[in-house]
Amino acid sequence: MSDGVAVVRTDGSWAMRNPASVALLGGVTSGTGTIADPGHYGLFHPDGTPLPDADMAHTRALAGEDVHNMELLVRNSGVPDGRIVSVSARRLLGDDGVVVVFHDVTAERRQRDELASFAGVVAHDLLNPLTTIDGWAENLDDTLRGMPDTAAQRDATDSLSRIVRASGRMRHLINDLLAYTTTRNAVIAPVDVRLRDLVVDVTTARGDLAASGATPAPLFALGRLHDVHADPVLLRQLVDNLIGNAVKYTAPGVVPRIEICSVRIEGDLVRVEITDNGIGIPAGQHEAIFNNFHRAHRSGGYAGTGLGLAICKRIVERHGGSIIATDNPGGGSRFVFTLPKATRREVAHAVKANARS
């Protein structure tokens, strides 16, 4: 078989392994019958950072964790160009070791990364002509305003406003595509963040935005919010996306009421919940909404691209957490995600996401 399979005893020695498991590691073996340190095999995280001993799949599985599709970069004299291997590991029944499975995903990852960077370049290049369209539309608007109020002038103004709206939608889509490709590729720089400060910032901005338009100001109720260990820029994007959706997907005339709180859970994680009183998610679509371009409310005039939640999922997963959507028992939706807890007890105030631009 082309997948590698190995059984590792509790003392770190191999009980068995198939030829593919050796080949996938570039033919490098410890020569002792016991697994050597990750540096010996040239094992790295996919972003090229060295893999610590404690992150080895068999070590984590021996500690009781189910390791599922953990991606590793293998680079050594046997595979000088590097190979991306997906590794899964779990304890055997009877506690006498772990089974480790290796699967080569190099081709898939390269293709995915190429597509993502292609999308990024295209999105970036599309912004230029769009800016030109907006500029000329503004020009035309000025000209039309200076013309006498006739049926033809009103017709032209109406057509122009449609062009401007379409261009706004396109800008939104392009920016989402760019955000999606950057959250995919950017190296994350996690630090301890005061989640409460960040949520206060985001909710205040949302209130200001509502005040500047004609929409009712959303009501926010903040419960306990624990400090987390995350990339502040991506965390802001995550929270802003979820709160933005919670405000957006409410029925006309309903004042959005949004509760945000967190709890500490096992595994050094913080679980954050964002609950709204909105229109809710149609049955059977609670998972699909996290797919690229999936929109559950196409009618009803809710603008969007269907990329926001895919970005959120990506951000949470890059931090080792998970995200789900459920129904709010009181009507509306609840988004629940996990992130690592802060490493220090007290986190300094005002870790501003925009400080890293």
Q: Which residues contribute to the site for ligand ADP (CB under 6 A)?
A: 245-246, 249, 276, 278-281, 289, 294-297, 304-310, 333
In which region does residue 38 sit, left (phi positive, over 0), alpha (psi from -120 to 50) or beta (all else)?
Answer: alpha
| Nearest distance from C-beta of residue 289 to ligand ADP, angstroms | 4
Token pair of 45, please?
């995280």
Q: Closest CB to ligand ADP among 55 and 273?
A: 273
- Write the CA distances from 301 to 159, 216, 249, 252, 296, integer angstroms: 19, 17, 10, 10, 12
**Residue 313 to residue 333: CA distance in whole angstroms:** 16
Say if residues 182 and 116 touch (Cβ distance below 8 Å).
no
The CB-of-333 to ligand ADP minimum distance in angstroms stands at 4
Minimum CB distance to ligand ADP smaller for 218 or for 308? 308
Which is closer to ligand ADP, CB of 57 or CB of 307? Answer: 307
Tokens of 113: 């990364």
| Structural tokens at position 198 | 């960040």
Burial of 266 (0-12, 13-18, 19+ CB in 10 A): exposed
Count of beta carbons in the 10 Å neighbourhood of residue 64: 9
* Shortest distance in whole angstroms from residue 183 CB to ligand ADP: 13
Min dist CB 246 to ligand ADP, Å, is 5
CB 138 → ligand ADP: shortest distance, Å?
26
In the complex with ligand ADP, which residue's Cβ is closer, 75 or 172? 172
Asked whether 58 and 65 are in contact (CB, 8 A), the reply is no
> How many angstroms separate the Cα of 69 from the Cα of each of 105, 106, 270?
10, 13, 23
Nearer to ligand ADP, 176 or 227 (CB): 176
Q: Which CB, 107 or 221, lies closer to ligand ADP?
A: 221
Contact present, 295 and 286 (Cβ < 8 Å) = no
**CB 193, min distance to ligand ADP, A:** 22
Tell me the closest approach of the beta carbon of residue 14 to ligand ADP, in angstroms: 45
Encoded tokens for 210: 């509502």
Closer residue to ligand ADP in complex, CB, 74/246: 246
Structure tokens at 76: 């050594």
